[in-house]
Amino acid sequence: MDEKYALRWIDLVVTTILDPAKTNISNIGSHELESFGSLMQQEITQNKTLLSEAAFRIFSKRKIQRMVGQYHRSLFLLLETAFERHPQIAATSEKATSLGKTAIEAINELLDFIEHRFGEYIDLDSWVPSAHLASVKDSIGERLKKLTPWLDAATAGTPLAAMIFGAFSTLTDQEDQKKRRATFREVLYKKELIDQIEKLASSLPQGEQSCQQLTQMLVFMNFNSRTFVDYYTSGIAARIRQMQSAAQKRGELLLAQKDFNQLHHQSELCLHTGYTDVRTAIGRWFDAELQYLEKQRQWEAAEPSGAIPDVASDQAKILCFLSIDQIALVLRALDSLRIIQARSMNSVFQQIVPHLSTPRKKDISWESMRAKAYQFEESDKQRVLEMLDLLTRWISEHDTH
């Protein structure tokens, strides 16, 4: 690496030229100010080259990490300083405001380069400084606004656009922008996600093919939201329900599983840290469905004349004030603890669910509820625990005499 200070022009502009206590910028001519802008841009280009060349020359990961860390820290300090000076220089002259904006853009450009090319050497779980985060939010907000017409048209009739906008809402909601912090892991993931969407938008027309490619890209990006997993599996379940025999259903399911397993998938980053990744969540769903079809085949072979209970009439059903997901969690727990017993957990759902309804749904598919037993949110878990606590208190307080 060059022994000279690699950020000398940017540092000079931010710490000296834009400091009203040190420099009267009104005395600097327009030509000189333009020269400062050009010198900063040249310096950014030179540093990109220096960093890339150093990565090839240095074989020690520790040394590369130290080099990247030094750049990262220095740039953030300069960026924070530039942001703090902005209100002061904005009140002095238009020339100073323009130079300050140029300096901020130059620093952010080099930061974006480092985070994209050397992301593996950055502590991804550390907080992004507020000045840089503000710039990232503005950039993502503008890019997402341009993509909105394509997304709306490409995903018409599906919830995909709403899922994507929801994923970016933590960075684009105006009410949340000033107070919310974000980690480098979140920022890098969302930068990569919007990059991928832009590539699709530029290469594909609006239509069914776009929606299919967008879904595959979300799998690749490990878009591990529960709503996306439900969307992906419900489409396959709908196709399976159209099949008549168990053999046809199994064949369709195996084909869908093969197609899913062949999709590319990256596991370094994900939408929700700590959640199960897309490949695992959907893989478990396939396993559960295939196990059920195999059990169904065995039942049909063992009991050819056995009949599945008819759906109870509305009047005969029991109204339950839990959601479908919450009921599924309760039934799964009862079966796992052997509080109730049947040939299998599938039998538990098959025998009980047709006789239940909720305030929102009169006719509940036992197959759909069984699938929900493997995917539940923390809020569902808490609601069930609250219900069990109420039961415990009622039993404790009940007069036995």
Burial of residue 24, with CB atoms counted within 10 A of its CB: 0-12 exposed, 13-18 middle, 19 or more buried? exposed
Torsion over CA: 294, 298, 304, 306 (sign): negative
Do both 110 and 146 map to the same domain? no
Tallying the residues shown for the chain, one arrives at 401
Q: Which two tokens stand for residue 116?
A: 């994209």
Do both 170 and 66 map to the same domain? no
Supply the DSSP symbol for 354: G
Do both 116 and 21 map to the same domain? yes
Do both 52 and 66 map to the same domain? yes
Residue 324 lies in a domain: yes
Region of 5 (left: φ > 0; alpha: ψ -120 to 50; beta: rest) is beta
**What gap in Å lies between CA 99 and CA 102, rounded to an integer?**
5
Do both 149 and 209 map to the same domain? yes
DSSP, residue by residue, 25-61: GGGS-HHHHHHHHHHHHHHHHHHHHHHHHHHHH---H
**What gap in Å lies between CA 108 and CA 373, rounded to an integer?**
46
The per-residue pLDDT for 85 is: 81
Identify the CA nearest to 96 among candidates 42, 7, 23, 38. Answer: 23
Residue 319 lies in a domain: yes
pLDDT in tens, the chain (401 residues): 445 788 999 999 999 988 888 888 778 888 888 899 899 999 999 999 999 888 888 878 888 888 888 898 899 889 888 888 877 777 677 777 888 889 988 998 999 899 888 888 888 888 888 878 888 888 899 999 999 999 999 888 899 999 999 999 888 765 555 567 888 889 889 999 999 999 999 887 766 678 899 999 999 999 999 899 999 999 999 888 888 777 888 889 999 999 999 998 887 789 988 888 999 999 999 998 888 888 777 776 665 444 445 555 556 788 888 888 889 889 988 888 888 888 777 888 888 988 898 888 888 888 888 888 777 788 888 888 888 888 888 888 766 54
CA atoms within 13 A of residue 369's CA, in its CB half-sphere: 29
* Whether the predicted model's global pTM rises above the 0.75 cut: no
**Are 182 and 133 within 8 A, CB to CB?**
yes
**What gap in Å lies between CA 97 and CA 299, rounded to an integer?**
77
| Count of C-beta atoms within a 10 Å radius of residue 167 | 22
The per-residue pLDDT for 261 is: 92
Q: Please name the amino acid found at residue 147.
A: L
Q: Which two tokens stand for residue 128?
A: 């992004």
**What gap in Å lies between CA 18 and CA 155, rounded to an integer?**
47
The per-residue pLDDT for 161 is: 93
Do both 84 and 169 map to the same domain? no
- Structural domain count, the chain: 4
Do both 331 and 359 map to the same domain? yes
**Are 158 and 231 within 8 A, CB to CB?**
yes
The per-residue pLDDT for 199 is: 92
Residue 401 lies in a domain: no
Do both 297 and 240 map to the same domain? yes
Do both 32 and 112 map to the same domain? yes
* Domain range for 23: 8-122
Residue 3 lies in a domain: no
- Taking only the tens place, the pLDDT of each residue in 101-135 is 899 889 989 998 998 888 888 888 888 888 788 88
Do both 180 and 253 map to the same domain? no
**Are 264 and 221 within 8 A, CB to CB?**
no
Q: Please name the amino acid found at residue 295.
A: K
Do both 132 and 168 map to the same domain? yes
Residue 133 lies in a domain: yes
Do both 32 and 113 map to the same domain? yes
The per-residue pLDDT for 190 is: 92
